[in-house]
Structure 1
């Protein structure tokens, strides 16, 4: 896979970098958070006008026809600025799930509005018992005349405080089960934020961004609001989570880059015993360790992109878990070391570096934490070894 950017990709990355440097410095971000804003309408319009919301959507539906790489380039720069707008939740996670699951008619109706920023859609899939994975699900869709009735609670809905529409995952009966064990399946439903029986509670996250808890208490959803065809729900969720995980990993790589830059500059100007502390060999070694962790994380992100481009479904699934675990742990290490090298000032709310560590901590809890994904990898390895190990010959009496 060629990891050199072409001219259009370089222009895309540069446009986001300019926005962060010019309009989204730490002081502007702090003022936005203190104002209680969960999404700046002005900034969201900028995202739309520059094509960032449309980058990975098909041209036939108002998008720019880009790929996951375009999403990664945008997310990496937004991570440098610790952007609190729901790009990850609405423009990546929900948009890609919708793209994977929707019928042609549903795509025609919704994707252009996502591309131009006039509609925000959030994916309500996570539950307290699922730990960031698509399953298990405790939300049920009971069959009713002309549709379904949804009951359940979704938590950590990214972009949910601002969404006009939710994509809700629920278990619904199969009309003609093929066996006694196939009596239900995961389906996706489009639910308006103003639907009767739906309530949402804003959840402030530790890093200054927001999520929502969505309660569905007898929400009626007509048959026309079923997203996609039967049997497509879980695959569509996996597709959305793949793109969301890659975007989150890119955010963390960008956050690590910025943390190292901030820390290196601080070591040049902070003096002790009359000399910059950056001249101390022990601190240089710690900076070198941080840079090494960043490059390992960046390589892991490249490996994920390569797996998506040419890997088997099993390879992609395992690489997603590898990336989520490795990059998440690397980000907490690098951003934590940034605080350590700043000393006491790094712990203050008024200083920049500690906020990157907060983002790394929150990111670990999104889409399943590092421990969970390492457990999934261990299970996959064990299953692979079981399949490949020779079976002992049968003994006949």
Structure 2
């Protein structure tokens, strides 16, 4: 990764360490995944403009430059429309970050590899269909709709658009369902392959966020076993605890390094290569992050299941992000099909 990307990630880490302490973090996570004040704060800091080209008023980093930042988002359990506000304005030329942090919502049936979220069709400029789960649909200022090979922008208040808020099991994300009945897209994005690029970068950045979640759960567990005592000594000195903590560290470090390597490879990758890179990273992250969080809860004992300890929040977030754009099982099938596709060059 470029040095300035690491510098920005370090600045994000420093800011969140100061301004996102435990009490505030838990209050935000307990608030349903959306906080307008936090979104406005991050927009004012310019975090959502990192990968927006300079000609459109952004900082001009490549999409891969978002990866180290998403590692920090995961470490600090930062909730909100981070993916939507950071990635979509960077890739969709017709979209700019909102000054107050109001997010775009990505209406994409492909967020589920199995295709069970629904479908959307575009005829001319009219949309029909539905998607059962859309992140931040009820809070969005614009809907970015992936309809087959096309991407279009839709006003969520337009006739024929229906948005219904949903209960969310993810403490960092608010969900809604979206349906279209003759709704008219106000903008068609003339960019072949944009939908596939959005999905690939979404997978890769979610892998990075999962990598950050694993690192954060590990850090808190190491601190816990170093101060929790039994039989007059810290439990971190017991051999069984050492072995489990070592496994956690190996998984977390391996995932972190895989994310950085994938980001390095993704910058100049062709669309098929980018799909494989992102799918591989997300498949590994979906498995490794959840395992690290499960071990973190085990080493915390019964208190690990309470919301008073951060590891329970890490576990819930990892479980929620695990399946978004494919879990390890789904993506292994996807990767295998891509590798065995006729005409694929080695």
Does the alignment reach a TM-score above 0.5?
yes
Q: Match of 2:109, SS?
A: coil
Match among 52, 69, 72 for residue 64 of structure 2: 69
Q: CA deviation at 1:322?
A: 0.9
Counterparts of 1:132-281 in structure 2 under 5 Å? 132=113, 138-143=119-124, 148-171=125-148, 186-208=149-171, 209-221=173-185, 225-228=187-190, 232=192, 235-281=193-239
- Contact kept, 8 Å, 2:129 with 2:179, in 1: the verdict is yes
Within-5 A mapping of 1:105-124 = 107=94, 110-111=95-96, 114=97, 116-117=99-100, 119-124=102-107
Deviation (angstroms), 1:155: 2.9
Change (3 A) 1:381 1:228: closer
- Greater RCO, 1 or 2 (C-alpha within 8 Å, sep 6+): 2
Counterpart position of 2:76: 81
Match of 1:57 in 2: 52
Distance verdict in 2 for CA 1:25–1:132, change over 3 Å? farther
Query: Runs of 5+ in structure 2 lacking a partner?
Result: none
Q: CA deviation at 1:344?
A: 0.5
Partners of 2:322 and 2:32 lie apart in 1 by: 24
Query: What is the CA–CA distance in structure 1 between the aligned matches of 2:117 and 2:32, rounded to whole Å?
Result: 33
Aligned length: 345
Match of 1:125 in 2: 108
Structure 1 gap ranges (5+): 100-106, 172-185, 390-397
* Separation of aligned partners in 1, 2:177 and 2:276: 29
Match of 1:103 in 2: none
Aligned counterpart, 1:183: none
Does the aligned pair in 2 maintain the 1:126–1:133 contact within 8 Å?
no
For the structure 1 residues 166 and 134, does the alpha-carbon distance in structure 2 shift closer, same or farther, using more than 3 Å as the test? Answer: farther
Q: What TM-score, normalized to structure 1?
A: 0.80
User: Is the 2:155–2:185 contact (alpha carbons within 8 Å) kept by the matching residues of 1?
Assistant: no
How far apart, in 1, do the equivalents of 2:252 and 2:29 lie?
Answer: 28
- Between the aligned partners of 1:54 and 1:317, the Cα distance in structure 2 is 24
Structure 2 Cα separation of the partners of residues 314 and 140 of structure 1: 24
Alpha-carbon offset, residue 372 of structure 1: 1.1
Deviations 1:250-280 (A, max 9, x none): 1111111111111011101111111111000
3-state DSSP class of the match of 1:315? Answer: helix
The residue number in structure 2 matching 1:13 is 9
Q: Is the 8 A contact 2:137 2:175 kept in 1?
A: yes
CA distance in 2, matches of 1:49, 1:354: 30
State the partner residue of 2:308. 350
For 1:98 and 1:387, the matched residues in 2 are separated by 28
Contact 2:105 2:140 in 1 (8 A): yes
1:270-349 to structure 2, matched below 5 A, reads 270-349=228-307
After TM superposition, the structure 1 = structure 2 runs for residues 382-393 of structure 1, keeping only pairs within 5 Å, are 382-383=340-341
SS of residue paired to 1:140: strand
How far, CA to CA, are the matches of 2:290 and 2:147 in structure 1?
33
Change (3 A) 1:66 1:44: same
Question: Structure 1's 311 and 70: CA in aligned 2 closer, same or farther, altered over 3 A?
Answer: closer
Match of 1:95 among 72, 89, 106: 89
- The answer on whether the counterparts of 2:36 and 2:101 sit within 8 Å (CA) in structure 1 is no
Write the deviation string for residues 65-117 of structure 1: whole angstroms up to 9, x where unpaired.
Answer: 0112321122111111211111112322x324423xxxxxxx3xx32xx1644
TM-score w.r.t. the length of structure 2 is 0.91
Distance in 1 (CA, whole Å) between partners of 2:196 and 2:114 is: 9
Tell me the CA shift for residue 22 of structure 1: 2.0
Structure 2 CA distance, aligned partners of 1:12 and 1:330?
Answer: 26
CA 1:286–1:135: 2 relative to 1, 3 Å? closer
User: What is the CA–CA distance in structure 2 between the aligned matches of 1:383 and 1:142, rounded to whole Å?
Assistant: 30
Q: 2 CA distance for matches of 1:189 and 1:137?
A: 17
Structural RMSD (CA): 2.5
Whole-angstrom CA distance in 2 between matches of 1:335 and 1:135: 27
